């Protein structure tokens, strides 16, 4: 008995569906997203495939930069260049002689920022509402960590290694970042090197190489080791 | 020495995520769940009408849901759990797609598959999958589901009954009706046979 042609066609259609290739890397991406979900609160950004996730993470950049400005260290020499004048009012330790404190090379890019009035800098006490933000209680998400590193990377690209170090300090101190730890360390090595602290960069790079022999970043780190 | 941002800020490596795998109180791990059911869920979602890219996103969502509820999943019913989650995610995804189609009118072409086949064969398979999707679109949802489970996933009726949460007899009769309707729909569209032979 000859098989029905319609049935044969149906069988071939189903076979084509059974043999369809799953997009390359899709399973691994799902696994990584699911693993992150186990350890974190659900975040909308993780509901996207890889390319879309990176785009969404970019949207966090502006927020991260604002947070970085608010959390910047008291020492202006390692601050991020765009300095809102209101932050000067919040400094817990007012400067007594602003004219005697030359701007560091790293803050040369902050020429566009409005100058701080000396009288205000001396007399105004810190406003409680402008105190540095408290540390977040929850572990940082991947997008938070990514945003912090983007700030650092952008500062490096702009030739401001001290601002990059400040952002990386925030990554360590505030976010207590872990998920992108290797990438953060490599950025710090590069920032130290560009800031002229080649010995510190070399020491950190050497340690990175020893502790992460299998990392894909190890060759890059090794290039900073001073023999 | 200057590195681009892409070089420096890479996505988390497999090694950095390796320690994140956790064993739930019921013994399940998300790694095992993904390994066992990823392909099944992705194909089911394709069978339910999602594009390859949308199926990937939706499958990811399914396993994120599973990860959040890992402790509550009965290990003996893990496939039912992810299947149920997939149906809900697919429902929402298709609702979104309908809204998108109202704006775009035409779907964007799907990415070509990385299959090591000739262009003619790939075009033929692509047409076959499109025709299958069109035929399945003509079925009621419940019939579509059982056809996908039976013909694409090649599950037996008792397995389909478990996944669908219906008695075996109901699953069997639903599948019979689904096959009849599928056959009728395919007959109506037989002129689109991509394989060149006359059905």
CB < 8 Å to B34, chain A: 27, 30-31, 34
Which residues in chain B show pLDDT less than 50? 1-20, 102-116
Instruction: Read off the pLDDT of residues A22-74 as tens digits, 9 standing for 90 and up.
Output: 888 889 888 888 888 776 443 443 444 444 444 445 544 544 554 455 545 44
Q: What is the mean pLDDT of residues A5-14?
A: 91
Alpha carbons within 13 angstroms on the beta-carbon side of residue B49 total 22
Q: For the domain B118-194, what is the CATH code?
A: 1.10.10.10
Burial of B71 (0-12, 13-18, 19+ CB in 10 A): exposed
Rounded to the nearest integer, the mean pLDDT of chain A is 66
For helices A181-194 and A142-157, what crossing angle results, to 10°? 20
Structure confidence at residue B46 (pLDDT): 94
Interface of B with A in 120-139 (CB under 8 A): 125, 128-129, 131-132, 135
Nearest by CB to residue B22, choosing from A38, A54, A215, is: A38
Pick the residue of A3, A5, A11, A31 with the most B CBs within 10 A to test the interface with B by mutation. A31
Structure confidence at residue A118 (pLDDT): 38
Pick the residue of B1, B9, B70, B153 with the most A CBs within 10 A to test the interface with A by mutation. B9
Structure confidence at residue B169 (pLDDT): 96
Element holding A139 (H helix, E strand) = none
Indicate the pLDDT class of residue A227, thresholds 50, 70 and 90.
Answer: confident
Residues of chain A above pLDDT 90, percent: 4
Residue A29 to residue A34: CA distance in whole angstroms: 9
CB < 8 Å to B36, chain A: none
Structure confidence at residue B129 (pLDDT): 93
Residue A218 to residue A15: CA distance in whole angstroms: 45
Indicate the pLDDT class of residue A1, thresholds 50, 70 and 90.
Answer: low
Structure confidence at residue B59 (pLDDT): 94
Instruction: Read off the pLDDT of residues A165-188 as tens digits, 9 standing for 90 and up.
Output: 888 887 887 777 777 888 888 888
Query: Do the beta carbons of residue A99 and residue A198 sit within 8 Å?
Result: no
8 Å CB contact of A23 and B56: yes
CA A223 to chain centre: 22
Asked if B6 is an interface residue toward chain A (Cβ–Cβ < 8 A), one would say no
Residue A77 to residue A100: CA distance in whole angstroms: 14
Interface of A with B in 32-91 (CB under 8 A): 32-39, 42, 46-50, 52, 54
Nearest by CB to residue B39, choosing from A8, A22, A220, is: A22
Residue B80 to residue A68: CA distance in whole angstroms: 45
Lowest mean pLDDT among A12-26, A94-108, B34-48: A94-108
Nearest by CB to residue A38, choosing from B20, B114, B129, is: B20
Provide ipTM, 2 decimals: 0.78
Structure tokens at A137: 């209680």
Structure confidence at residue A152 (pLDDT): 83
8 Å CB contact of A34 and B60: yes
8 Å CB contact of B182 and A26: no
For residue A103, is pLDDT > 50?
A: no
Nearest by CB to residue A153, choosing from B5, B67, B70, is: B5
Query: Do the beta carbons of residue A132 and residue A71 sit within 8 Å?
Result: yes
Q: What is the mean pLDDT of residues A140-148?
A: 77
Asked if B32 is an interface residue toward chain A (Cβ–Cβ < 8 A), one would say no
For residue A93, is pLDDT > 80?
A: no
Structure confidence at residue B100 (pLDDT): 54
Q: What is the mean pLDDT of residues A101-129?
A: 39
8 Å CB contact of B1 and A179: no
8 Å CB contact of B34 and A50: no
- What is the CATH topology of the domain spanning B23-108? Rna Polymerase Sigma Factor; Chain: A (1.10.1740)
Domain ranges of chain B: 23-108, 118-194
Pick the residue of A38, A45, A50 with the most B CBs within 10 A to test the interface with B by mutation. A38
SS3 A154: helix
């Amino acid at each position: 008995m000859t098989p029905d042609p319609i049935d044969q066609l149906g069988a071939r259609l189903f076979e084509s569906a059974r043999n369809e290739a799953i997009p390359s890397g899709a399973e691994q991406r799902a696994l990584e997203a699911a693993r992150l979900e186990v350890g974190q609160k659900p975040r909308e950004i993780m509901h996207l495939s890889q390319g879309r996730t990176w785009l969404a993470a970019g949207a966090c950049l502006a927020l991260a930069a604002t947070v970085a400005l608010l959390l910047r260290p008291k020492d202006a020499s390692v601050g991020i260049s765009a300095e809102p004048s209101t932050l000067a009012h919040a400094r817990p330790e007012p400067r007594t002689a602003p004219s005697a404190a030359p701007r560091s090379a790293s803050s040369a890019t902050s020429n566009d920022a409005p100058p701080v009035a000396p009288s205000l800098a001396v007399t105004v006490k810190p406003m409680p509402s402008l105190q540095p933000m408290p540390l977040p209680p929850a572990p940082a998400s991947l997008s938070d960590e990514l945003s912090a590193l983007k700030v650092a990377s952008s500062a490096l690209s702009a030739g401001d290694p001290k601002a990059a170090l400040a952002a990386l300090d925030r990554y360590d101190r505030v976010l207590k970042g872990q998920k992108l730890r290797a990438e953060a360390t490599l950025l710090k090595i590069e920032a130290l090197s560009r800031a002229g602290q080649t010995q510190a960069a070399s020491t950190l790079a050497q340690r990175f190489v020893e502790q992460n022999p299998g990392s894909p970043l190890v060759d890059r780190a090794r290039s900073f080791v001073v023999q | 020495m200057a590195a681009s941002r892409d070089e420096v800020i890479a996505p988390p490596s497999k090694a950095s995520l390796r320690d994140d795998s956790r064993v739930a109180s019921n013994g399940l791990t998300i790694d095992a769940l993904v390994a066992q059911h990823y392909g099944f869920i992705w194909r089911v979602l394709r069978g339910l009408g999602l594009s390859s890219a949308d199926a990937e996103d939706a499958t990811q969502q399914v396993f994120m849901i599973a990860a959040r509820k890992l402790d509550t999943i009965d290990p003996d019913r893990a496939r039912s759990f992810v299947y149920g989650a997939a149906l809900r995610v697919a429902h929402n995804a298709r609702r979104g797609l309908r809204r998108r189609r109202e704006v775009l009118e035409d779907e964007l072409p799907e990415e070509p598959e990385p299959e090591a086949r000739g262009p003619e064969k790939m075009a033929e398979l692509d047409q076959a999958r499109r025709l299958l999707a069109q035929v399945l679109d003509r079925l009621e949802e419940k019939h579509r589901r059982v056809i996908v489970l039976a013909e694409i996933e090649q599950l037996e009726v008792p397995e389909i009954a478990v996944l669908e949460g219906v008695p075996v007899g109901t699953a069997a009769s639903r599948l019979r009706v689904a096959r009849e309707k599928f056959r009728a729909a395919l007959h109506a569209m037989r002129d689109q046979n991509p394989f060149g032979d006359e059905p």
